[in-house]
Structures are given as C-alpha cells and as structure tokens.
A and B are shown apart, each in its own frame.
Chain A
C-alpha cells in the first residue's frame, strides 16, 4: 500500500540576516499510511510548522524529498492542494463578516465541487461535526470553539484524503479542546482521512493520535505508537508539596526528589513503579503537608526524557 505521506531526509535551512543560518529541519524521515492518526509533537521552534509547510507545498526543502499522495508537494502544489485539507490554528479560512455557508460556497467554487453536491456535503459535514446550526450566522458572532468547528467543515468540504492540522486547539478552553479532538477522531473513523496534527499540547497525543512523532531542534527523536509512549514516559507525574515546617529531606518510595526549597519540595513519581495514590498517602502520613498538587511533567521534560533514552 502506498504511503499517504512520505518524508525522506527532509532538510530546511533558513539564511539568517546576522550570524549562522538556521537549520529548522535537519533531516527528518518518516512514513504515514493512509487512514493513520499521527501527532507531530515538539516544543516551540522545533520545526513542526516548517515540516508541515514543506509537506503542503508552501516551502521548498533545502534537501531531501517527500511525497504526499504520491505527489511531490512543492512541484505539484495545486494538484496536491485539491486533495489535502489544512487547518492552521492561528489563521482563519472563514470570511469574518459573512456566514460560514457563504465561505463554503466560495470554497466549493475554488475546489470545483459540483453545484449539485454542495448543499449535501455541507449538510453532511454539519451533522458529522455538530456544526449545522452555526452555518447561517456571521462568523464574527461565533465563539472560538464554534468557529473552529466551522473551520473543520471548511477544511473537509472537498473531501481531502489527508488533513493537516497545525496547532488547531490553541486558545480553546478545555471543554472545547476535548470536543474538537473528538471531532477529528470522528473524521478519521468515518471518512478514513489521514490525520497529521502538530501540537505542543500533550493531551492532543493522548486523545487523538495513535502514533506520535516527537521532534526537537529540527530532528526526529521519537516515532512510535502512543500506547508505548504512554507506558514508557507519561506515567511520570510531578508532585508539588508545601510543608508547615520544611523537613531536611523528603524520602518516599517510588518518588524522586527533584528540588527542595525553603517552603516545600518537588517530586517526580513514576506511576508504573508506584501508583500516585499511595505516594500521596505516604507523604500525608509522614510529613506535615499544607498544600499538595499533582501535575503532568512539562512537555520539555518528556521530550528531554525521550531525547535521553537510547533509540
């Protein structure tokens, strides 16, 4: 089966006005099968947007090559554009003063969707994405979450085989994010659309992707199924404790002391080793705890963990 997306030693170097040229993407290779859901994760500046721009034909690579649906993106940009969808989180395809439907009509012309099919497709997508009731109000009156659902409809109108999403959940509240992620999964499951989602939000990995690629400093440093990554790394939790009187040291089984300050401590817990609940119980039993909170480690930490592990 031919891959939906294929990247081979993609490289992108930007000349800088002063100093060294910037190597945004330093030789990335991967392959995505049709119908896959892939999260493309990395901290800011890692090279995610640059990668997507090369795969969608906006940027020409400095070296290496790629194919999307068998087409070289920067050579067959227009041909490819008719078969892929894009959704950039910080940009809008929707005309602000008009209704979403008015934008869809224009997009239908641009993508040469037959007039007879337009209304049916709009209605279907409205149902699939819980957005039908939004289509006839001006975009300026929609909340961000509502707008993003309408943007998804816009991206899917021409029935693309691959959908690229670049930081689509930026600015959404937690509920809207969850809802949006659910819709992406729906699109993939009902239409078989290949999904490539870039993000620096770890929850995007958990809820949407089956496979994750981590890049940092322009290099691919992890490429595996999410289930494996979860087991390997996302079992780590950070525990922040504040004490009534700071002890000399904090020792709890299954927890590693990361930092001890005047008022409290920061611990790292590998939940594969020991469930968080019993670590918390221990802490509360043995120390005079004033405040306690549990959080996910920041992405940078997961990434550096990944980076440090042998490949």
Chain B
C-alpha cells in the first residue's frame, strides 16, 4: 500500500503547524479572491452580458480555477518546485527512500496561501454557482481534471530543468500565463488565441471546458477533458522519469 496518503497527511500537519500564520495566509488569499469577485460584480453591473455569459457563469469559471489552482499549488505545492528541488539537490533525499520519487515529491509539501484558494473555490460555487447535485458533481470532477492538467504541465516544465539545468523560472512564466487566460471566458478570444489555449497554454482544459460542462454537460466533452487530463499526467510522468535518468547520470552539473 502506498505511503502517499500518509505523506500528504504529514505535509498538511507540517503546513498547518503554525496555525496563526497558516490562517493569516489563507485569509489574505481569500481577500484577494474576493477582490476579483468584486471586480466581476462591478463589471457585470455595468455590462450586463458578455457574449452570452452572465455574472454567475463567470463566477463558476472563477471558482473552478480556484479549486484547480488550489489543488495544484496548495495541496501538491511541490509541483511547481521541481526545478528548484533539482537545483538544490533535494531530489537526492527522495532517492534514498524506497518509494517512487514523483508521487512522494508531489505529496511532500503544501502551501498555505494557495490552500486559501482551495477552500474559497468550492465555497464560492456553493454560494453563487447555483449548486444542484449534478452541477456540483460536474464542478468537482471538472476542477479535478483541471488540476491534473495543471500539475502535469508544471511537472513537465520542471522536468525540463533536469535536461537543461537552471531553476525552472521559465515554467513559472507559462504557468502564470495559463492562470491569467483561465480566469476569463474562453469565448472572449479569437481564432489564433483560442488554438493556443487548447494546446501550448492549456487554459481551455483548466477552466474553459469544465465551465462549459457545468453549464451544459455532454458526454463527448467530458470524455475529451478526461483524456486530456490523462495525457498531461502521462506527459508530466514521462518527462520526469526520463529527466530522472539524466539526473542520475549527473548530466547536469550539480555539486
């Protein structure tokens, strides 16, 4: 039986150990998120509808983003730190344990601030997203798929540093771009951009498609989303495994 759940529980305990600090960071993030909600409220108060989108639709989109990002960055916080861990030599510690390195690394750290998103996203959906049981189920599964896409993307970018060195700052760039695009309805964007969002900057699969599914569930799109999530998971896993071979051969000059 895998030790991943136990590792995650330990990471949570460690991250919450200083309760005051934890809740302050969560609070700040929630305040941050509330500002964005306020922006949308003010925007729609003036604008009305946006290419068929109502305020509630955008709120749902935003809550999906919060839950996805919360899982990827808050719960599995090491997903964006793989480059850093490699550069620091911290991967060595994982290699001394009788475990598969990637799951162990991913479950070894939480981030308090992003846990705020993890908590606020579902709360926002429950309050403002018209949460019928069906919509809630689609919301949760859709956001989960989105988080898998995010984690896969981040791990893949981090794994690249195992090949070329560096600390993985480039990953942050692509990742932040995804977050920016994923905060807005897909229908805002024209042809070329939309193609981008379905490929290199997969924001469409983080919020676009899940949000569409919550509005109008259809099995084909759901299957597509699941398939893409699996694809990103495999991409991340594959690049990481290959990268670890290179790491173990010492091809990047690490001290």
Contact = CB atoms under 8 A, between A and B. Distances in A.
Check whether chain A touches chain B (CB < 8 angstroms): yes
Contact of B96 (A74, A86, A95, A98): A86
A59 B3 CA distance: 24
B93 A93 contact: yes
B11 to A, nearest CB: 8
Contact of B250 (A56, A59, A98, A102): A59
Given A106-B3, A106-B10, A109-B3, A14 B250 contact: yes
A163 to B, nearest CB: 12
A102 B92 CA distance: 22
B251 A98 contact: no
A82 B98 contact: yes
Interface string B2-24: 01001100100111011000000
A98 B14 contact: yes
Given A16-B253, A97-B17, A98-B17, A59 B98 contact: no
A102 B96 contact: no
Nearest to B246: A60
B253 A60 contact: no
B126 interface: no
Contacts of A262: none
Contacts of B97: 81, 110
Contacts of B14: 95-98
A298 B14 CA distance: 42
Contacts of B89: 91
B249 interface: yes
Interface residues of A, number: 34
The main secondary structure of chain B at its interface with chain A is loop
A74 B248 contact: yes
Interface string A94-122: 01111000110110011100000000000
A79 interface: yes
A179 interface: no
A78 B248 contact: no
A57 interface: yes
B99 interface: yes
A102 B15 CA distance: 13
B3 A91 contact: no
Interface string A42-63: 0000000000010011111000
Contacts, number: 75
Nearest to A17: B253
A14 B253 contact: yes
Nearest to A110: B3
A53 B10 contact: no
B7 A106 contact: yes
Contacts of A91: 89-90, 92-93
Given A98-B10, A106-B7, A56 B99 contact: no
A12 interface: yes
A53 B249 CA distance: 11
B50 interface: no
A97 B99 CA distance: 23
B253 A88 contact: no
B95 A77 contact: yes
Contact of A60 (B10, B90, B248): B248
A138 interface: yes
A81 B18 contact: no
Contact of A102 (B13, B93, B95, B249): B13
A13 B194 CA distance: 47
B96 A56 contact: yes
Contacts of B13: 95, 97-98, 102
A310 interface: no
B95 A138 contact: no
Interface string A198-242: 000000000000000000000000000000000000000000000
Interface in A70-87: 74, 77-79, 81-82, 86
B244 to A, nearest CB: 10
Contacts of A15: 251, 253
Contacts of B3: 106, 109-110
Contacts of B90: 91
Contact of A58 (B10, B92, B100): B92
A97 B98 contact: no
A110 B253 contact: no
A48 to B, nearest CB: 12
A207 B111 CA distance: 43
Per CB-CB distance, the 9 closest pairs between chain A and chain B, nearest first, are: A97-B17, A81-B98, A82-B98, A109-B6, A110-B3, A109-B3, A86-B96, A95-B14, A106-B10
Interface of A: 12, 14-17, 22, 53, 56-60, 74, 77-79, 81-82, 86, 88, 91, 93, 95-98, 102-103, 105-106, 109-111, 138
9 contacts: A14-B250, A14-B253, A22-B253, A78-B99, A86-B96, A91-B92, A93-B93, A98-B17, A106-B10
Given A12-B250, A103-B10, 6 more contacts: A14-B250, A59-B250, A78-B98, A95-B14, A97-B13, A109-B7
